[in-house]
Amino acid sequence: MARPDAGADEAPLLAEEPLRPGACSRELELREFRDRYVIRSLDGGAAFAVARSGGSIRPLSPEEAAAGSDCKVSRIYGVAGIIRLLAGSYVLVITSRRNAGSYQGSPVYHANSMKFLCCNEAIKHLTSQEKKDEAYFMSLLRIAETTCGLYYSYDRDLTLNLQRASKLAAGRIHKPLWKQADPRFVWNKNLLEELIEAKLDEFIIPLIQGNIQNFQTCMLFFIYLLLSGTRMWRRGANLEGATANFVETEQLIEYEGLTSSFIQVRGSIPLLWEQIVDLSYKPRLCIIEHEETPKVVQRHFHDLSQRYGETVVIDLTDKRGDEGDLSNAFAAEMSRIRDVRYVHFDFHHVCRGGNFDNLQALYNQIEEAIQKQGYFLMNSKGEILLEQSGVVRSNCIDCLDRTNVTQSFLARKSLDLQLQRMGALSSSESISISDSINDIFKKLWVEHGDELSLEYAGSYALKGDLVRYGRQTLPGLIKDGMNALSRYYLNNFHDGVRQDALDLISGYYTVSQGSSSPFHTGGFESALFLPVASAIIVGGITATTFTLGQVGRNAQPFISPIISGGLTVGVVALVKANGKQFCSRPRLCGLI
């Protein structure tokens, strides 16, 4: 399995190469006319048109698709879906891609760039308020165009892990790709509805968000991400028991005709809780009192048990402060749930000083359960030799840094067992004896943590040194500090808008003609005054410092510094008291 060229794309397919049953078109031609867009397959023959006046879809014959010459022609690599707003429809297309490797013999691609085609000529008939709303919605679409970590295949379902896929009927692969997919992990599920209604199966490509890496040492890394929002604006669970930042990670190895996988999951603490940004570095955690809380927790773990089997929960939160209160509430709810083992491990306390090896104390507690759960193993004939009978669910507060370090530790332990069973290692050996495999493993998990952190928090992961070196280094501390500052800025001043974009694309918020504007509050837009307040604070500090330096040279030395200092203190107090109002907040949907 060769390492893919990170900047390369496949050579264009020949037009006469037939598609496999259920596969999607790999090469598409976009023809932009004044009144319509025409998208036609170069390897399957199908085509359809989208009217620029309102977004109506019409399948075309090959002759109709080729007709007309007064148009702009370009190559695209997939249609990711259609969304309808106030003025019409917007068609999301993949404009460039990167070969990310292969899975079960099928190429896997990363969507490098996307763009929305506008079918919104009706915008001239909107009211002034509707035009403002449409402009904001369109700004959210531009954010969605830059979504990172989107992967797809034209002829292989990427949403099911290997064990689930291998146990389904063989005839499933002949169904359209979107019918094979697990809708939980389809990033563009909401965007595909109009294409599905138009029965354009050949053009319907399910995208997953996560991280896929492929190395020539036959290690393949999959992540199936169910990302419900941004770091601070989606915490805990909803009333159905679905949690924020739920991630299924599959680590696959192919060796001598054998294929093995190991599954772990992570997800926010499945209680009703929030942590609203307020300009402080670490906002207060707030547990929402709700009569449905016990049922929420039960629903979450019932779903996990149905999908994965026996579940072991690892809670990595602190035992003190707000985290301690949340952890205690979680432990209290878990004590009521049978057949799910709950283990608390205070990561910051036990691994203080950046000692990664102290995670062995956690592994010693759950080693028997993990070995009992096992891993999946299949031979070259597709015969199942071993099955994974359960899963470890890890969480901290964000389910990012501490969780990633812990999952990498457990994955290393499993990888040793898998390679020993496959004959690549003896029963006493570990991957640490091979520098190349060990380095690749570390790279996989560091990049895994970075990708998930970028998608959820907007910055690279912290504590990457613990995975790379097993300890914290000075350059790593400096990098963590810069990333922490980046998170602070994005969480406070950008994530509200990014959350709106996710809610719009995912269908949590539906645009409907005639409904009241979600942006017309008539209230005080305090976020607009934050730059002014910041300028007053900086100017006040500067003026106070300067005037204090003039003391002794003026007959009234203290009047100016007192005035400027008092003004600065007053503005600081105002901003601090109204911190939540000065932050970027989502405007489309509530928290639960």
pLDDT in tens, 187-199: 999 999 999 999 9
Range of the domain at 577: 526-582
What percentage of the chain carries pLDDT values higher than 90? Answer: 49
- Full 3-state SS string of 364-420: HHHHHHHHHHCCEEECCCCCEEECCCEEEEEECCCCCHHHHHHHHHHHHHHHHHHHH
Give the model's pLDDT for residue 588: 86
Is 447 inside any structural domain?
Answer: no
pLDDT in tens, 11-36: 444 344 566 667 899 989 999 999 99
Domain boundary among 383, 411, 436: 436
Q: Are 377 and 254 members of one domain?
A: yes
Contact 428, 419 (CB under 8 A): no
Report yes or no on 123 lying in a domain: yes
What's the pLDDT at 5? Answer: 37
Task: Check residue 367 and give its pLDDT.
Answer: 96
Label the pairing between strands 390-395 and 258-266. parallel
Separation CA 358–CA 274 (nearest Å)? 31
Residue 232 · residue 280 · CB < 8 Å? no
b/e string for 100-134 if b means 16 or more Cβ within 10 A? Answer: bbbbbeebbbbbeebbbbbbbeebeebeeebeebb
pLDDT of residue 475: 76
Residue 430 Ramachandran class (φ > 0 left, ψ -120 to 50 alpha, else beta): beta
Element (H, E) at 506: helix 495-506
Give the end of a domain, one of 436, 459, 494.
Answer: 436
Among 344, 448, 445, 342, residue whose Cα is nearest residue 396: 344
Which of 37-41, 105-109, 307-311 has the weakest average pLDDT? 105-109
Residues 191, 253: one domain? no
The reported pLDDT for the residue numbered 8 is 41
Q: Phi-psi region for residue 419, left (φ > 0), alpha (ψ -120 to 50) or beta?
A: alpha
Residue 7 falls within a domain, yes or no?
Answer: no
Least confident of 338-342, 473-477, 566-570: 566-570
Task: Say which residue the tokens 């994530």 belong to.
Answer: 495
3-state SS track over 522-573 = CCCCHHHHHHHHHHHHHHHHHHHHHHHHCCCCCCCCCHHHHHHHHHHHHHHH
Residue that finishes a domain, picked among 205, 228, 257: 205
Tell me the one-letter amino acid at 347.
F
Q: What is the mean pLDDT of residues 350-376?
A: 92
Q: What's the token pair of residue 373?
A: 């759960």
pLDDT at 216: 62
Predicted pLDDT at 523: 41
Give the phi and the psi of residue 279 in degrees, each rounded to 5: 80, -10
How many angstroms separate the CA atoms of 109 and 100, rounded?
5
Q: How far is CA 89 from each of CA 50, 86, 188, 201, rounded to the nearest angstrom?
A: 9, 8, 15, 19
Angle formed by the axes of helices 128-145 and 495-506, to 10°? Answer: 90
**Residue 140 shares a structural domain with residue 279:** no
**Domain tally for the chain?**
3
591 alpha-carbon distance from chain centroid: 18
Whether residues 315 and 424 fall in one domain: yes
Give dist(CA 561, CA 216) in Å, integer: 67
The Cα 491–Cα 497 span in angstroms is: 10
- Which pLDDT value is given to residue 472? 72
Q: Is the pLDDT of residue 72 over 90?
A: yes
The answer to whether residues 167 and 260 belong to one domain is no
Residues 6+ apart with CB under 8 A from 408: 442, 445, 448, 449, 467
Q: Is residue 244 part of a domain?
A: yes
Q: What is the pLDDT of residues 379-393, one digit of tens each?
A: 999 899 999 999 999
Q: List the structure tokens of 358.
A: 């102290």
The verdict on 258 and 332 lying in the same domain is yes
Q: What is the pLDDT of residue 150?
A: 93
Question: Tell me: the pLDDT tens digits for 522-546?
Answer: 444 444 555 555 565 556 566 566 6
The residue ranking higher by pLDDT, 307 or 485, is 307
488 pLDDT band, cuts 50/70/90, is: confident
Angle at 202 between CA 112 and CA 32, to 5 degrees: 65
Same domain flag for 282 and 416: yes
Say if CB 297 and CB 337 are below 8 A apart: yes
Structure tokens at 524: 């005080």
Determine, yes or no, domain membership for 507. Answer: no
Residues 245 and 310 in one domain: yes
For residue 113, give both structure tokens. Answer: 């760039």
- What would the mean pLDDT of 472-488 be, rounded to a whole number? 76
- Report, as an integer, the average pLDDT of 211-223: 66
Shared-domain flag, residues 222 and 185: no
Residue 100 and residue 166 in one domain: yes
> Do 246 and 192 belong to one domain?
no
Q: What is the mean pLDDT of residues 69-92?
A: 94
CA distances from 508 to 1, 142, 240, 301, 502 (A): 40, 18, 14, 23, 8
Mean pLDDT on 547-576: 61
Decide if pLDDT at 340 tops 50. Answer: yes
| Chain centroid to CA 542 | 42
C-alpha separations of 214 from 86, 318, 395 in Å? 42, 35, 26
Q: Would you say residue 398 lies in a domain?
A: yes
Q: For residue 6, tell me if it sits in a domain.
A: no
Q: For residue 473, give the 3-state DSSP assignment.
A: coil
Tell me, yes or no, whether 371 and 268 share the same domain: yes
Report which secondary-structure segment, H or E, holds 271: none
User: For all residues of the chain together, what is the average pLDDT?
Assistant: 84
Task: Identify whether 463 is part of a domain.
Answer: no
